[in-house]
Amino acid sequence: MADFKETEFNSSVATLKRIDVLMMELHKAGFANNHPARLGLVRRLNVEGNEKLTGEEKKRCIKYESELLCIENGMCENKLGVNTYCTNPAEYRNKKNIEKWNRMLPIINSYELYVISCLDKHGMLMKNKQESDETPDSWED
Domain boundaries, the chain: 2-123
CB count in 10 Å sphere of residue 71: 17
Residues of the chain with pLDDT below 50 are 1, 80, 83, 132-133, 139, 141
For 24, 65, 126, the CA distances from 30, given in Å and listed in that order, are: 10, 19, 19
Q: What is the pLDDT of residue 141?
A: 46
> What is d(CA 70, CA 36) in angstroms, rounded to the nearest whole number?
16
The sign of the torsion formed by the CA atoms of 39, 44, 47, 50 equals: negative
Share of the chain above pLDDT 90, in %: 45
Using CA atoms, how far apart are residues 86 and 50, in angstroms rounded to an integer?
A: 49
Whole-model pTM: value is: 0.73
